[in-house]
Amino acid sequence: MSAKRVMLVYPYFYTGIKKDQLFPPLGIALLSAMLKRNGAEVMVLDCTFLTFDEALSRAESFKPEITGVYVMTTLANNALRIVEKLKDVNPESIYAAGGPLPTLYPERFNRYFDYVFRGEAAKSFPDFCRDYLNSFDREGFVEKIEAGLYPGMDSPAEHLTKEEIDACPIPDRSGFDHRKYQELSSEFSGKKTTSIMMTYGCPFSCDFCSKPVFGSQVRYRSLDRVFEEIMDILSYGYDSLWIADDLFTYDEKFLNEFCSRLISEELQITWSCLSRVDTITEETAKIMKRAGCCKVYLGIEAGNDEVLKLMNKKIDLKKVVKGVETFKSNGIKCAGFFIVGYPGETVETIEETFTFALSLGLDEISFNVPYPLPGSKLFEKVSAVSEDDWNFENETRFLYKSEFDEEWIKKRIEETKEEFLRARGE
């Protein structure tokens, strides 16, 4: 019987820029668990802490029969560069792409990969690998393959049901350099933080958002599986969670059940999450704090109600103020994300956003210009979107033809951040 080796590639190379959130990729970890359950030998090639040459050397030594590469917008150039070199060192492997960008633009990747998996391929890609690796005639299998047997291969895979999600094993975190991830996290926050997801999908339609993989239907994992995963995370030495769900705080019943169980099991783990400003009551904020929530990240985006309507945020400034006050009065720190220079804005509304951000008493603020993610309504509205490498960090720049002066916006962002730090005595 031929070997059954699958390599999963995460083509991000750490640049040394200080980041508060750098975690092992959960999608890769889940695929690894699914593949191992199907009997494959798996190598996770997480390039985060490797040089390009080190990554190629490890891949050449492993000699996989199948190579899967995760691609999102900021990793596109890295992905295409590394797959070109991987084909040189492992010419016998077959190559598959998955992730947000191949889901949106499969034709762009068909030129470089043998297969492109679209949408939630957590089941279909491992099924394909199992059938290919178990085939006694792999060339014949490829020639006669029925794409319809593997959702995502010829059209986007349907979203997994809650039952299918709960039937998956917990993500396999064994293939990552946890010491380095924890060192970086501790340097920034004093905590050893890693990510977890408990819900999939988002029912909102913000103008700047793209959700090609998880879609709009919200699905909740069972808390039994969630806590099984948390115990696994603790075994690697982590002491804090970044809950990476788009809408972890959307359903108060689910949120309260999670918090109550975390309190009753006395795990003594802290956590932070994304949240909307309009989904939290005083009682829920209290139990979040008791359960170890130390910080929430709020997508506030603008300081003008008309601009919020342009963004289709479905919130207003009054809700923002109330939401921030609810969290802060219960001892939970608040970070706010803002977008300035949105199409349809004016200089005056940009200045209103800066003023509003400073007025909220936030613990952290972040500003950026609009980021036209492929698949978003914003992407469809703007013109001359750059085809350059989007793999940049901590840099404010327009990736499309904007009516606003980029240098002026950079200057005002820096001035506002300096004023924010002065007000905090930092």
Q: How far apart are CA 338 and CA 346, in angstroms?
A: 15
Q: What sign does the dihedral 408-18-364-195 (CA atoms) show? A: positive
Q: Which domains does the chain have, with CATH numbers?
A: 5-149 (3.40.50.280), 293-426 (3.30.750.200)
Q: What pLDDT sits at residue 311?
A: 95
What is the torsion angle, in degrees rounded to the nearest 10, for the CA atoms of residue 409, residue 360, residue 324 and residue 418? Answer: 50
What does the pLDDT read at residue 394? 54
For residue 369, with 0-12 CB atoms within 10 Å meaning exposed, 13-18 middle and 19 or more buried, which class applies?
buried
Tokens 């029969």 found at: 65
Q: What is the mean pLDDT of the chain?
A: 92
Distance set, CA 182 to CA 240, 249, 276 (Å)? 10, 26, 28
What separation, in Å, do the N-terminal and C-terminal C-alpha atoms of the chain show?
Answer: 64
Which residues, 6 or more positions from 100, have their beta carbon under 8 angstroms from its beta carbon?
A: 71, 72, 73, 210, 212, 213, 374, 375
Q: What is the mean pLDDT of each run of 10 residues along the chain (426 residues)?
A: 87 82 94 97 98 98 97 90 97 95 90 94 94 92 88 85 94 97 92 95 87 83 97 97 92 95 95 93 97 97 96 96 97 97 95 98 94 84 67 66 90 96 90
d(CA 233, CA 239): 8
Percentages helix, strand, coil for the chain (3-state, rounded to 5) are 45, 15, 40
Residue (of 223, 207, 276, 268) closest to 248 by Cα position: 276
pLDDT (0 to 100) of residue 393: 53
Residue whose token pair is 């951040």: 417
**Tokens at 386, concatenated:** 């750059």
DSSP per residue over 131-193, as a string? HHHH-S-HHHHHHT--GGGSTTSSSPBPPPPHHHHHHSPPP--TTS-HHHHHHHHHHHHSS-E
Check residue 211 and give its pLDDT.
79
H helix intervals, 174-316: 178-189, 223-235, 252-265, 282-290, 305-310
Name the DSSP letter for residue 119: B
Residue 386's pLDDT is what? 66
